[in-house]
Every structure is written in C-alpha cells, then in structure tokens.
C-alpha cells in the first residue's frame, strides 16, 4: 500500500484541486515551511525520512532540496502542517512544530530584528518592552498570519487573536493545534521581554472556537503545553 496516499487521505489534503492564479493567492513567510524541515533534520536519518514523507504528501517535495526563500502560498504551508499532524502522534507533532517555531524565532532574532532594537528592548522592564514589541508584531503579522486577521491586546497578559488561521484551516481536534505560532511568540518574548514569558493557546479554530487565541504572560512561571522537555 502507498503510505503517502494513506497519509494524504488522513490529513484531508486534496492536491488535485487547482491553485489560484499567482496574483490572487494569500502568502505566508517561508519560515513556516523551511523551519519545519530544519526541525525534522535535527532527528538525523529518521527525521529526514519523515520530512520526505510529509513534504511529498503536501505536494512540495521539491522544497526538500530547494527550500523557498520568498513568501509562499499559505495553502502549501497549511498542507505541510496538516501532513505533520497526520504522520505523527499528537504529542510528537506538537513537539516538532514547536521546535520549528523556536527555530523561526531564532531566525527572526538573528536576521530580522536589528541589534540596537534587541538591546533597547532588553534594557526595558517587561511591560514597556512588550508594549514596544507588540506594534512590530502587528505590522508584520501578514508574514505569519497569511490571509488571517491578527489582533493583539497589550496586557499583561498580552493576548494575540488570529482569526482565519491558514495553518489549521479545515482541521478538527479536541485540543489546540497551533504549536508553531505559540512557540514563535514564546521565544520572541523570552528573548526580548522576559525570560519568564510563556505562551498558551487557549482557543483554537480546529477545536471549533471562533479564533486561535494565545495568552502571553511573563508574570509567573508554569509549563506551557508546547514547551520542550529537557
């Protein structure tokens, strides 16, 4: 039996449907795909084999050797995230996508946030640092939200709401699924606002909620659902 077809069916991925013309598609940042691949490759040969299965199922096998460097069709990235959740157990999928989220945040910290800005934020107390960081996150929300609508509340705790999240579109789950987003937010806040920052996804469209909602808190310490265990 062709396991690729089995995974594609389980994930609900329809690769036969034509994609829209290039000038009408909604796009998302390439890190939502490339860092998933990087997270798989941390696992050596087994991870490489799983990456091949997932990216082939998602219809983007060419990205294994030629990863995108520019904004990409959000539907292709959504297929990758769905294929990850179909190929792995819920716990393993959450860990993998959370690692991809941390790698994404590390990339942003190294290449997209100027060093003077990073230093300035870390010199501020957490609340004003968060207040300064939030406008930048909102301005660049299109890179991680695609066609979704992103809003934020400063807090504390800060609240991020993503309506129409393309990375869990069409999925159904009894628990929140958006480990990648949660890990991106958490890593950024831990590095720029407070090392005590943690993120919990309290609502998720895949669970039937009206939006994906993330609570960002730096006032206390507890283990969030996507934290990698050491």
pLDDT tens-digit series, residues 139-167 = 999 999 999 999 999 989 999 999 999 99
Domain boundaries along the sequence of the chain: 3-87, 113-217
pLDDT per position as a tens digit, 171-224 = 999 999 999 999 999 999 999 999 999 999 999 999 999 999 999 999 975 444
Residue 155 has a pLDDT of 86
Residue 186 has a pLDDT of 98
Phi-psi domain of 44 (left: phi exceeds 0; alpha: psi -120 through 50; beta: other): left
The secondary element (H helix, E strand) that includes residue 128 is: helix 126-139
Tell me if 167 sits within 8 A of 182, measured CB to CB.
no
CATH code reported for the domain at 113-217? 3.30.1380.20
Q: Give SS3 for 46.
A: helix
Local confidence band at 4 (pLDDT 50, 70, 90 cut-offs): very low
Q: Per-residue pLDDT for 79 more than 90?
A: yes
Structure tokens at 223: 């283990």
Q: Per-residue pLDDT for 39 more than 80?
A: yes
Whole-angstrom CA distances from 100 to 27, 66, 91, 183 are 19, 18, 14, 8
């Amino acid at each position: 039996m062709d396991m690729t077809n089995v995974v594609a069916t389980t994930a609900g991925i329809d690769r036969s449907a034509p994609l829209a013309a290039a000038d009408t598609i909604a796009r998302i940042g390439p890190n939502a795909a490339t860092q998933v691949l990087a997270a798989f490759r941390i696992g050596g040969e087994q991870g490489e084999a799983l990456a091949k299965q997932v990216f082939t199922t998602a219809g983007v096998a060419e990205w294994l050797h030629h990863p995108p460097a520019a904004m990409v069709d959000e539907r292709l990235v959504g297929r990758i995230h769905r294929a990850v959740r179909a190929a792995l157990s819920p716990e393993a999928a959450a860990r993998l996508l959370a690692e991809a989220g941390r790698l994404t945040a590390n990339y942003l910290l190294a290449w997209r946030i100027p060093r003077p800005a990073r230093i300035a934020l870390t010199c501020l107390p957490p609340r004003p640092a968060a207040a300064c960081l939030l406008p930048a996150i909102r301005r660049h929300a299109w890179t991680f939200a695609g066609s979704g609508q992103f809003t934020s509340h400063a807090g504390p705790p800060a609240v991020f709401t993503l309506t129409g999240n393309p990375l869990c579109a069409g999925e159904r789950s009894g628990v929140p699924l958006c480990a990648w987003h949660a890990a991106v937010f958490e890593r950024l806040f831990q590095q720029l606002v407070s090392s005590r920052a943690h993120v919990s996804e309290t609502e998720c469209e895949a669970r039937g909620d009206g939006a994906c909602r993330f609570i960002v808190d730096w006032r206390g310490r507890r283990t969030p659902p996507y934290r990698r265990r050491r």
